[in-house]
Amino acid sequence: MTVRRDFKEPARCRPDQVIGREELFSAAREQLGRGGSVLLHGPAGIGKSTVLRALATEYGRAARTVLRCSPTESESHLPFLALADLLGLVLDEVSDRLPAAQRTALEAALTGRGESTLQRDGLALRLAVLSALRALAETGPVLIVADDLQWLDPASAELLGFAARRLGDTPVRMLCAVRTEDQEYDRHLRAAPPDTLAVRLGPLTRAQMSALLDNRGFTGLPRSTVRDIHRTSGGNALFALELSRALAENPTPPRAGEPLPVPTSLRALVLNRLEMLSEEARRTLLVASAGARPTLALLHAAGRADAEAETAQAAELGLLATEPEEPAVRFAHPMVSAALYAEAPAQERRAAHAALSTAASDPIERARHLALATSGTDPEVAARLAEAAALARDRGAPSVAAQLSLLAARHTPPDGRPSPEVLRLDAAEDAITAGELDLARDIAREVLNRATVPADRVRAWIIVIDTAGHAMTEVDAIFPQALADAGDDPRLLALVHYQLTWRAVLVKGDFDEAREEAAYAAALAARADDRYTELMALAFQAQIETLMGHPDAPATIRRALEEPQDARVACHHNGAGYSRFRWLIMSDQLPEARAAVTALLREVRRHGWVESEVHFLRGVAETELHSGHCGRALDLARESLRLARDTGIGEVASAVLTSLAEAAGGELDRALALAREAVEHAERDGDQMYTSRALAALGHAQLVAGDAAAAVRSLRRVREIEQSLGITDPARGRWHGDLAEALVRSGELAEAQDVIAVTREQALRLDRECVLAVLDRAEALVRAARGEQDAALAQVTSAQDRLAALGYGLEEARAAFALAQLRTGAAGQAAHDEAARLFRRCRALPWLRQVESAAQTRRARAVPTPASAPDGLDGLDGLASMERQVAALVMEGATNREIATRLFISVKTVEATLTRVYRKLGIRSRVDIVRLAAARRTP
């Protein structure tokens, strides 16, 4: 674990927000909005009070009266105390409206001046509470807010329950929170109305906890530390905040393998029953807390002879959640284990680890316990740890390998071989693989502060560059230092020049320079006999050439796939396997692409390579999206985005793909928000390539949302950026058809035709069949707008057939929708039905809503066809089909906007069509069309 040295607890926290509870909060809000009541329940510290306060603040404004109570355990034995908190301040307001007997009983209970009891004044007191609430509700809604309902005194609980069950339609709502374990909340519902909604608050996810800590001002915590906080707190918000505060106050952050510091407040909270354990039972639990997966057999092997009886005693006290038949020893909550370990003296901890270093069966566990039982440097311990790190790496546990390498570095003497710095760099590279970029960056910078060996320094520079991801402008000044440290060593120079390849793409946007740098890096690596770097450079060269539409791309991919191969490259997200996948998907070989990327994903998951997993998840999602499996694509894209945000890897790329998936099968608002977020981040990082990809996603979402003008603005920028970058393969982003379609909708037919013509030339050169079919679909819309109805129908029908044959389900459905927009009469209705069927098959919900809306409009307003045009227009043979339809609607008195709606074209297209009609008929206005038609009908 690493905590930044400059990390401090904030002087002032931002206001509370409901984080990670949005869905539950919405359900409670809707219940309160309907006039119902809500009971929030869950374990201590889970966040019930925060949600309660937020709901009370929101709905307290609408209430005429807000009654509050927050009982405590120490006062729960005092009768009527909660009732006094609720009604004490409003007693004078309602007492005059109560019958004398009820008033007397209530005043005695609330003031304590009499000896009121439920047994003596039961009915009068119960009716008094009910009457008081009804009296308050006569002047406006009443909201009762009760926190910590579990400490409500029994008398108050009985009276509230009696009233709640009889309020009926009286505008009195209850908002309560109660501490429960599991689902044990039923008995607390007796104090609430019958229709009360019970809402359980469970543990926060890691991403939600990260957002909570950020909101509270703990923004300096690395992701690896947030992971440890989440694991130790068990997702409990209170525990997480207290652990974070302890980290901020601790001048010496915990070292590798050491647990988080547990503050005294939490130790007291979770260990108040520890004093009831025997000394031997406490030591047994300490051994269990030190073990990774403690079992009774492990405790016996570690010398705890009476483990069964001692763990049973701990289970009775609620410290363990061990089942009688279960061999594992499970703590009731992770905080119990953490607090128990933190409470123990250092000598007892080392003794526990020493016992486990011989008792554990797993070599990785034995090595870790040996390290934690040993003080100072020890070459033998260091060697055991290095071996364990290699074993963890092979098992696909890079995060564990990183921690073991850090422990090995701590126990390695300064003159040891490998050196402590080499072991730290091993740990940093494992941390990158595990997606713990902040940890890797901190380790690398620590090495740079001490290392003098050029190879160590260059390796550390490369780690710092790698952890910057696509934000390479932030590390641009590093490259001269890295080159200086590399000197004339071809192996070190190859490493730096491979990174310069990425710099040329991401910072400078120069694909020609990037291609040259990649080729040079590959040559240097070959000279140094560094096959790993050579293969990585060749694979990236192939990717660049693919984007450029360079003819050498297939040959470079073949070179990158030649033997001998390196196992680390085969499944790397920048390796030849992924380059081949990109080539397959851009070449319209969808089944082969799906098989390739699925195999890659399966392999990296086996190895625990999180960074590559994020990339390959996107690859599988992209393939499913192209294939028209929108629901599956959306699930995968969301999973990729969650993982990307959790690790800080590829967030922009995952947001782009998820935006496309949301626009296809999810929510358009979400698609637009994600795309805008991706544009903002890519522009901030100075990443031209991903700025263009994000803008393409934004333009697509805007087109699906019906905002053609905005789509044109976004996609024009994509065209400009890609032209400047030298990207010529239209299968890279597949935005060209969207731009042409948006231009048609905006009435920019000439520009639409130009986009189609230029892109078609590139697609023909590279044999991009899907792109060509999509361009034909867009060109059919251009032709229809120009009145070339028959040619448009033939072209879009052909495009649909070709897209179906290629397996592009969503694009096929879009072609069917375009065909439905061009057809009229019964054929048009049938075409709409077919488009709806295809979109439904794809689970393309946003598109399906468009089709259904268009079909409904068609049924409501029958569109005139040439066959049914007015007699006066039948003889106007010089007009094209679209022109005849527009003229017919003008004669009916339709405005330009109404015509556009009924013919599914833009207002600009209507205006352009009318201009051609005027020119062909030798007239000047809409009135002249009506007059001409009337004259033709006159005998």
What the block records as the tokens of 553 is 């791309």
- Residues 900 and 907 sit within 8 Å (Cβ to Cβ): yes
CA distance 232 to 24: 24
* pLDDT tens profile 762-774: 999 989 999 999 9
Whether the predicted pLDDT of 14 surpasses 50: no
Mean pLDDT of 261-285: 79
Whether the predicted pLDDT of 75 surpasses 70: yes
What the block records as the tokens of 308 is 């069964």
CA 417 to chain CA centroid, nearest Å: 43
> Percentage of residues in the chain with pLDDT exceeding 70?
90
Per-residue confidence band for 480, with pLDDT thresholds at 50, 70 and 90: very high
**Strands 65-69 and 142-146, how do they pair?**
parallel
29-33, 396-400, 427-431, 609-613: range with highest mean pLDDT: 427-431
Mean pLDDT of 674-694: 90
Whether the predicted pLDDT of 870 surpasses 50: no
Reduced 3-state DSSP string for 395-452: CCCHHHHHHHHHHHHHHCCCCCCCCHHHHHHHHHHHHHHCCCHHHHHHHHHHHHHHCC
What the block records as the tokens of 275 is 């004093």
User: Given the structure tokens 């140094």, which residue do they identify?
Assistant: 528
CA distance 805 to 796: 14
- Residues 894 and 901 sit within 8 Å (Cβ to Cβ): no
Angle, in degrees to the nearest 10, between helices 809-822 and 825-842:
160
Whether the predicted pLDDT of 919 surpasses 80: no
Q: State the pLDDT at residue 561.
A: 85
Mean pLDDT of 52-78: 85
Reported as half-sphere exposure (CB side, CA atoms, 13 A), residue 255 has a value of: 12
CA distance 458 to 237: 41
Mean pLDDT of 339-347: 86
Q: State the pLDDT at residue 102.
A: 87
Nearest to 158 by CA among 199, 181, 115, 187: 187
Q: How much is the mean pLDDT over the chain?
A: 85
The better pLDDT of the pair 357, 194 is held by: 357
User: Given the structure tokens 């990717």, which residue do they identify?
Assistant: 543
CA distance 636 to 42: 31
Q: State the pLDDT at residue 194.
A: 82
The better pLDDT of the pair 920, 81 is held by: 81
Q: 63-66 long-range CB contacts below 8 Å, 24 or more apart? A: 63/140, 63/141, 63/142, 63/143, 63/173, 64/136, 64/137, 64/139, 64/140, 64/141, 64/142, 65/90, 65/136, 65/139, 65/140, 65/141, 65/142, 65/143, 66/142, 66/143, 66/145
User: Given the structure tokens 């007397």, which residue do they identify?
Assistant: 104
Whether the predicted pLDDT of 736 surpasses 60: yes
Residues near 779 by Cβ (< 8 Å), separated by ≥ 6? Answer: 740, 753, 756, 795
Per-residue confidence band for 402, with pLDDT thresholds at 50, 70 and 90: very high
Mean pLDDT of 307-313: 89
- Residues 16 and 56 sit within 8 Å (Cβ to Cβ): no
Q: State the pLDDT at residue 897.
A: 74
Q: State the pLDDT at residue 720.
A: 94
Nearest to 187 by CA among 316, 39, 302: 39
* pLDDT tens profile 144-189: 999 888 888 888 888 888 888 888 889 999 999 988 875 566 666 7
Whether the predicted pLDDT of 265 surpasses 80: no
Beta bridge partners of 177: 40
Backbone angles phi, psi at 277, to 5 degrees: -85, 155
The better pLDDT of the pair 471, 733 is held by: 733
Mean pLDDT of 112-128: 69
Sheet holding 172-179, edge to edge: 65-69, 142-146, 172-179, 38-42, 197-200
Buried b / exposed e over 218-256, threshold 16 CB at 10 Å, is bebbbbbbbbbbbebbbbbbbbbbbbbbbbbeeeebbeb
- 178: three-class secondary structure by DSSP: strand
Backbone angles phi, psi at 67, to 5 degrees: -110, 130
Mean pLDDT of 214-237: 79
Q: State the pLDDT at residue 756.
A: 96
Whether the predicted pLDDT of 13 surpasses 70: no
The better pLDDT of the pair 815, 91 is held by: 815
Mean pLDDT of 351-371: 91
Nearest to 625 by CA among 615, 614, 635: 635
Residue 762: count of CB within 10 angstroms of its CB: 17
Per-residue confidence band for 931, with pLDDT thresholds at 50, 70 and 90: low
Nearest to 447 by CA among 412, 417, 455, 397: 455
Q: State the pLDDT at residue 12.
A: 36
Whether the predicted pLDDT of 710 surpasses 80: yes
CA distance 220 to 146: 36
Q: In this predicted structure, which of 383-387, 569-573, 581-585 has the lowest mean pLDDT?
A: 569-573
Whether the predicted pLDDT of 925 surpasses 80: no
User: Which of left, alpha, beta for 831 (phi over 0: left; psi -120 to 50: alpha)?
Assistant: alpha
Whether the predicted pLDDT of 293 surpasses 70: yes
Nearest to 298 by CA among 244, 353, 226, 344: 353
Q: State the pLDDT at residue 418.
A: 93
Q: State the pLDDT at residue 253.
A: 67
The better pLDDT of the pair 537, 825 is held by: 537
Q: State the pLDDT at residue 251.
A: 63
Whether the predicted pLDDT of 117 surpasses 60: no
Q: State the pLDDT at residue 859.
A: 67
Beta bridge partners of 175: 38, 145
The sign of the torsion formed by the CA atoms of 729, 731, 734, 737 equals positive
| Separation in Å, CA 895 to CA 595, 693, 744, 886 | 53, 39, 20, 10
Q: State the pLDDT at residue 474.
A: 83
Nearest to 905 by CA among 918, 896, 894: 896
The DSSP symbol for 151 reads G
Whether the predicted pLDDT of 85 surpasses 70: yes
Per-residue confidence band for 742, with pLDDT thresholds at 50, 70 and 90: very high
CA distance 541 to 519: 7
Per-residue confidence band for 865, with pLDDT thresholds at 50, 70 and 90: very low
* pLDDT tens profile 805-820: 999 999 999 999 999 9
The better pLDDT of the pair 937, 895 is held by: 895
Q: In this predicted structure, which of 81-90, 203-212, 572-581, 855-864 has the lowest mean pLDDT?
A: 855-864
Per-residue confidence band for 63, with pLDDT thresholds at 50, 70 and 90: confident
Q: In this predicted structure, which of 210-219, 506-515, 606-615 has the lowest mean pLDDT?
A: 210-219
